[in-house]
Structure 1
Amino acid sequence: MTLDDLTEDIEETYESLDDLDVDLDEGTRRELTMLLTALDEDDPEDMLEEAVSMLFQSTVESGKLDFHLRSAYDVTYDEYLSGMTYDEMTGGAQFPQAEQKDERRYQF
């Protein structure tokens, strides 16, 4: 295969994206075209699904998802999945500590 073959395949793939149900900006459309052509992928929707999965996974692994969830909702992804907060998991919500200092609680 040659550069001309690649250019032809990219142009064909680019045009085939007109049938896609997703609105893409020009840069994303060109990047998707290159990935589809280079990876010999036929279905752009499968590629988009994979891209979302990869973005989600990297966002979870980097801690960005927890950061944004904690900032906006005061929970983490693990708390969301379990359906309870860490305080609820550890029993901290059942036995809240008094906000005043109670030095006697450590005395025997």
Structure 2
Amino acid sequence: MSLDDLETDVELASDDLDDYEFLDRESRQELAMLSAALDADTDELLRRAVHVLFQSTTETGRLDFHLRSTYGVTYDEYLSGMTYDQMAGGTEFQQSDDDRRYQF
């Protein structure tokens, strides 16, 4: 294989991206290069890209940051179906403690 072969394969892969009109020129070029280099179809590459983005966003804490700022929970809380306070019993204890605080 040579540089000419690579250029041809990238051009062919780029031509196959007509269904992906939402991609900008740079994204189309990068996706075509990945498709040619990895010998993978576009849909598979997009699935992989979503997994990589999700994993890196989770590992760096950016997902939790955005979830916490928008929804007030973390990804772990979402997966478990309850907040950390609920897991520790903090919410129930505080409510019952507040209810009994002024009773004599």
Q: Same fold (TM over 0.5)?
A: yes
Count of aligned positions: 96
RMSD over equivalenced CA pairs, Å: 1.3
TM-score (norm 1): 0.83
For residue 93 of structure 2, give the secondary structure of its aligned residue in structure 1. coil
Runs of 4 or more above 6 Å deviation: none
Structure 1 distance, partners of 2:74, 2:42, is 32
Question: Aligned AA for 1:76?
Answer: T
Identical-pair percentage: 58
Structure-to-structure mapping, 1:1-108, within 5 angstroms: 1-20=1-20, 23-41=22-40, 43-96=41-94
For residue 93 of structure 1, give the secondary structure of its aligned residue in structure 2. helix
Structure 1 distance, partners of 2:19, 2:70, is 37
Displacement of 1:11 in angstroms is 0.6
Displacement of 1:82 in angstroms is 0.7
**What corresponds to 1:106 in structure 2?**
none
Displacement of 1:2 in angstroms is 1.0
Displacement of 1:13 in angstroms is 0.7
For residue 45 of structure 1, give the secondary structure of its aligned residue in structure 2. helix
Structure 1 distance, partners of 2:81, 2:92, is 16
Residue ranges of structure 2 left out of the alignment (5+ in a row): 99-104
Displacement of 1:19 in angstroms is 3.4
